[in-house]
């Protein structure tokens, strides 16, 4: 089975993706991760205005069969949370790189993104 791995973003070994636009980093989980989890039924996310450190746990995604922690790809303030997931957690399965995004972090340190896996690195990891 082949999984979608867009080249426009970076990845964590723990299967989150990070997409930077003007210093704001949008975060979600990969196609591979949503497939491994199966039907996503619940997403627990922090509130806007909270801050996270890089690699810090910021929330939880639950499928029917498993619970998985979510880790922050960069440090910073959470400036947006995808409220749509509270009523429609299945968006994570349906569109993990688009409508299924989870939160946006105003990145304190632009270089942190460079420490993450490239799309090629991540493809190797899940191969």
Partner 1 sequence: MPLQTSPLRGIHDERGAKFTEFGGWDMPVEFDSIQVEHAAVREDVGIFDVSHMGQIHVTGPDATELMQRLTSNDVERLGVGDSQYAAITDEDGIILDDTVVYRLPDENERPTYLFVPNAGTDEATHERWISYRNEWGLDATVDNRTDEYAMFAVQGPSAVDLVESRTDESVGELERFEARNATIDGVECWTARTGYTGEDGFELILPWGAAEKIWAGFDCQPCGLGARDTLRIEAGLLLAEQDFDPEADPRTPYEAGIGFTVALETSFVGRDALAELEAAGVDEKLVGFQLIDRGVPRHGYDITTVESRVIGTVTSGTMSPTLEKPIGLGYVPVEYAEPGTTLQVVVRGQSKKARVETTPFIDTV
- Binding residues (CB under 8 A) for partner 1: these are 1, 38-39, 41-42, 44, 60, 62-65, 67, 86
The tokens of 41 are what?
A: 């039924």
Four-residue CA torsion sign, 27, 85, 58, 122? negative
Specify the residue, 38 or 110, whose C-beta has the smaller distance to partner 1. Answer: 38
CB of 84 to partner 1, least distance (A): 15
CB of 36 to partner 1, least distance (A): 8
CB of 75 to partner 1, least distance (A): 23
Give how far Cα 37 sits from Cα of 6, 68, 83, 88, 126, Å.
20, 8, 20, 16, 14
Determine contact, residues 74/25, Cβ cutoff 8 Å. Answer: yes
Specify the residue, 87 or 114, whose C-beta has the smaller distance to partner 1. Answer: 87
Determine contact, residues 103/71, Cβ cutoff 8 Å. Answer: no
Specify the residue, 39 or 121, whose C-beta has the smaller distance to partner 1. Answer: 39
Specify the residue, 34 or 107, whose C-beta has the smaller distance to partner 1. Answer: 34
- Nearest 5°: the CA angle 122, 123, 124 is 90
CB of 43 to partner 1, least distance (A): 10
């Amino acid at each position: 089975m082949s999984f979608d791995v867009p080249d426009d973003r970076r990845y964590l070994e723990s299967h989150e993706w990070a997409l930077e636009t003007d210093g704001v980093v949008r975060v979600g989980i990969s196609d591979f991760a949503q497939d491994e989890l199966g039907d996503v039924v619940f997403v627990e996310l922090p509130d806007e205005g909270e801050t996270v450190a890089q690699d810090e746990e910021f929330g939880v995604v639950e499928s029917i069969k498993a619970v998985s922690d979510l880790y922050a790809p960069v440090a910073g303030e959470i400036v947006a949370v995808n409220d749509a997931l509270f009523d429609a957690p299945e968006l994570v399965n349906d569109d993990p790189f688009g409508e299924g995004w989870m939160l946006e972090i105003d990145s304190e340190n632009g270089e942190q993104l460079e420490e993450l896996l490239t799309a090629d690195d991540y493809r190797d990891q899940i191969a």
